[in-house]
Structure 1
């Protein structure tokens, strides 16, 4: 009976070691995720990339420059930006004349397992309009949307 107990302990120890190795591999893969190259500024994707980067850096004045009719806007929920990393992946871009819809996946990296299994990824869309040679955001997901001063009155 002692030999069976000994084998079970070795099997459990091996499974535990495997689990630890998987956790370490997941953490390393998330940490070593390559950064995206900076996209051209006169494209819908480049506009969104710079807009999200400005919000992540807390530079709301710069972020306003990427929004159409941004005269009296502020971040709707400034607390949500502090609580997340604002990583996103481009999924699809659809350009129709002077309008564009860009679908992205927001990637929550707060959990290695959630990120590894895709549980922290969810699609959102940005809507843009073209004015001259520049794209401006007309609608953004709630995580990074700018609002008018009236909408900000509750904050």
Structure 2
């Protein structure tokens, strides 16, 4: 009787240990994922990744380094774009000899409203050109423009 009573306890203990190990492994996986892997800085997608990260971080000076001279001159006063609650995912890259298109998915989320959080997704394209062997952004989606049309008109 003693042996039959300890067998279910051992089984239960084994199951609890297994569940504990799985929970720890899942938490380790979630917390070690961190930031996305940086893409090659010399590639069109890598340039867009660094540019959008600089914009989201509010570092306009760093972001400007990825723009062509013409794109930088379009606005006399750079403004912080609206980047609250934006996520950017790479969809595709179409690279030619001296130009490239980087298609991204931009997800804008907002809190509140009668039904809670809402999201809006849009596919947009960054146009890049190769200048002096370096990829630079010629045009951006409006969500990542460094200035508004009002600032450009000044």
Whether TM-score is above 0.5 comes out as yes
2:54 aligned partner: 54
Computed over aligned residues only, the root mean square deviation of the Cα atoms, in angstroms, reads 2.9
Sort the Cα spacing of 1:56 and 1:152 in 2 relative to 1 into closer, same or farther, 3 A: farther
Provide the TM-score with structure 2 as the length reference: 0.63
Secondary structure at the aligned position of 1:54 is classed as helix
Provide the TM-score with structure 1 as the length reference: 0.63
Instruction: Give ranges in structure 2 of 5+ residues lacking alignment.
Output: 1-29
**Correspondence 1:58-137 to 2 at 5 A:** 58-69=58-69, 70=72, 73=75, 74-75=77-78, 78=80, 80-81=82-83, 84-110=84-110, 114-115=118-119, 120-137=120-137
Distance (Å, rounded) in 2 between the aligned partners of 1:35 and 1:64: 22
Sort the Cα spacing of 1:150 and 1:85 in 2 relative to 1 into closer, same or farther, 3 A: closer
Moved more, 144-153 or 47-56: 144-153
Sort the Cα spacing of 1:34 and 1:114 in 2 relative to 1 into closer, same or farther, 3 A: farther
Task: Say whether residues 1:151 and 2:148 are aligned partners.
Answer: no
Larger Cα-atom Rg = 2
Sort the Cα spacing of 1:58 and 1:131 in 2 relative to 1 into closer, same or farther, 3 A: same
Secondary structure at the aligned position of 2:41 is classed as coil
Instruction: Give ranges in structure 1 of 5+ residues lacking alignment.
Output: 1-30
